[in-house]
Amino acid sequence: MKFFIDTADIEEIKEAMSWGALAGVTTNPSLYAKTGGKLADFEDHMVKIAEICEGLPVSAESTAKTTDAMVAEGEHLASLAPNIVVKLPVCAESLAATHALAEEGIKVNMTLVFSAPQALLAARAGARYVSPFVGRFDDIGDEGLDHLEEIVTCIHNYDFGHEVEIITASVRTPHHVTQAALMGADIATVPFGALKKCLKHPLTDQGLASFEADWKKVTGEK
């Protein structure tokens, strides 16, 4: 499974990219708003992220409401950098826009996917990435991983005539990451905080502390 980072924060992206383990970035309007960014700077911000992650897919979300506007905004976003992927929320208008953009060779990441039928329709319309959300189900007392499993199985059952990768989104915990990988989800897009948690384990910390203590016996250092 590949790791993407789910953030629009430039410093977080730079730091996580320095690990050498990331394969892409996803952003959305809420994540951009969280950076304090303004509309006038949105495109430059996306270009900056695309430059930091040269060659890796960077999802920039359209906020257009009609098919024509989504296609126009999608074409524009895709023209900003070769690695920008157009992110669209699943609905009738965005399916039609995805179909049109895919015909032009523009990659679409279909987001806000909560069910297998939504995922299948997105893939059939030509989406290059389908993003099922996990954590938001958990937030309402449902089991997000069960829904993810259905979606992964349904998508992997079929050949859509083009590559379709599942981006596990709304990831909150290392457990989500582990389960997504066990299910065979292609990608997990993980916020920086959860990504750092993925790196930690109490036994790693404990092991490191004993190595350091034992090495002091070797070096004689107090």
Phi then psi for residue 33, to 5 deg, are -60, -35
Applying CB under 6 A, the span of 38-46, 113-121, 133-141, 157-165 interacting with ligand G3P comes to 133-141
Q: How far is the CB of 111 from ligand G3P (least distance, A)?
A: 6
Q: Is 170 in the site for ligand G3P (CB under 6 A)?
A: yes
Nearer to ligand G3P, 135 or 174 (CB): 135
Q: Is 109 in the site for ligand G3P (CB under 6 A)?
A: no
In angstroms, the CA 171 to CA 173 distance is 6
- Annotated active-site residue 197? The verdict is no
In Å, how far from its chain's centre is CA 7?
9
Nearer to ligand G3P, 148 or 161 (CB): 148
The beta strand positions in the chain, using DSSP E, are 2-6, 22-26, 58-61, 84-89, 108-113, 129-132, 165-168, 187-190
Applying CB under 6 A, the span of 33-41, 45-53, 69-77, 130-138 interacting with ligand G3P comes to 130-138
Of 52, 57, 86, 84, nearest to 71 by C-alpha is 86
Q: How far is the CB of 163 from ligand G3P (least distance, A)?
A: 20
Residues serving a catalytic function are: 87
